[in-house]
Amino acid sequence: MDTVIAIGLFLGGAVLAVWATERLLEGLVGLAVALRLSAFAVGAVLSGFEAENVAVGLAAGGGGVASVALGSVFGGAIFLVCVALGLSALLFPLEVRLPRPFLLVFAGSPVLAGLGLLGPTTPRWAGVVLIAAFGGSLVYLVHASRGQQFLRSHEVEAAHEERHTPVAALGLAMLGIVVIGVGGELVAQGAQRIVAHLAVPALLMGMIVTPAVIELEEVIRQAVPTKEGRPDVSAGNLVGALLYFVLFNLGLVALLTPVRVDPLVRQLDWPALLVVTWIATAFLWRGRVGRGAGVVLLAAYGAYIVAHVLARR
C-alpha cells in the first residue's frame, strides 16, 4: 500500500507541475503582451522556462533528496538533448541555421555547470556565478534576437490571440506558481518513498526516472513546431531550456538549498551531459539534425541509462 501511495504522489505531482507550468507561462506572456513588451524578448525569456523543474529541484534540495535535486538539472538536460531533440529529429528532421554565437552559448553552458559540482556539496558561490551567467546569457539572447524570428514562441502567439486582461494574466501566473510548488513537493516526497520502498538506487531514480517523467512534454515542444514548419522555434526552445536547466536551476539549488554531490555525478552525469551537448551542437552547426542524428542521440541516452545501471552493481 505504501508503494502505491508513493507512486501516486510521484505521478500526481508530475501531472500537477506540468499542468501548472502551462498556466504560469500563459499568465506571464499575457502580462507581457498587455504591458506591450517585445514579443521577441518574451519569446527568448520563456522559450525554455521549466518552472516545474525548478520546483522539483528546490523541493528535493530542501528535503535533502540530493539525487532528485541534481537529477532535475543533469538528468533533465540529458533527457532534453537526447530524447526530446533525438525523437523529434527522428519524426521530423530539424533544419535550421542559428547564429554561431548562440551555438557557442549552448555548448558552453554545461561546462559552467561543473562549478556546481566542486566540493562535497554544491557551493553557494557557484550558485551566484551560475545565476549571473544565466542572466548574462539571457540578456545576450534577447538583444541578439531583435528583428529575428528564431526565438518566437507559440506561447507568445497564443497570448496575442487570447488577449488576457492584466488581472486575469496575473491570476494565471499566481495560480501556476502555487500549484507548481505543490506539484514539486509531491514529486520529491514520492521519489523519496519509492527509493525507500522499492530499493531503487537513489541516483538512478533522480537522474533517469524523475527527469523522464517531468520532461516528457519537451518532446512535444521540440517536435510540434518542426512539424508545423517552425524549426526555428524548436531550436530556440532547445537552447533556452538548456540554459534554464544547467545555469538557472542548478544555480538556485546551489544558492538556496545546497545538496551533497555524489561522486558519480562528477564521473558520469556531468561528462555525459558535455558529450551529448557537444554532439547536438555539431549537428546544429551544420544546420540539420536529421533522422540519423536522432538515432545517434537516442542511442547515447540508452548508453547513459546502461552506464547508470552498471555503475550501481
Q: Which domain holds residue 77?
A: 2-311
Return the pLDDT at 284.
92
Residues above pLDDT 70, as percent of the chain: 59
For residue 220, how many other CB atoms are within 10 A of its CB?
11
Return the pLDDT at 224.
62
CA pair distance 74, 51, nearest whole angstrom = 16
For residue 166, how many other CB atoms are within 10 A of its CB?
12
Burial of 247 (0-12, 13-18, 19+ CB in 10 A): buried
Average pLDDT over residues 22-34: 65
Q: Which of 41-55, 215-229, 285-299 has the lowest mean pLDDT?
A: 41-55
- The total number of residues shown for the chain amounts to 313
Q: How many domains does the chain fold into?
A: 1
| C-beta separation of 272 from 78 below 8 A | yes
213 closest CA partner among 75, 37, 94, 69: 75
Q: What is the pLDDT of residues 266-283, one digit of tens each?
A: 999 899 999 999 999 999
Residues above pLDDT 90, as percent of the chain: 22
Q: What is the CATH number of the domain that holds 235?
A: 1.20.1420.30
pTM: 0.73
For residue 302, how many other CB atoms are within 10 A of its CB?
12
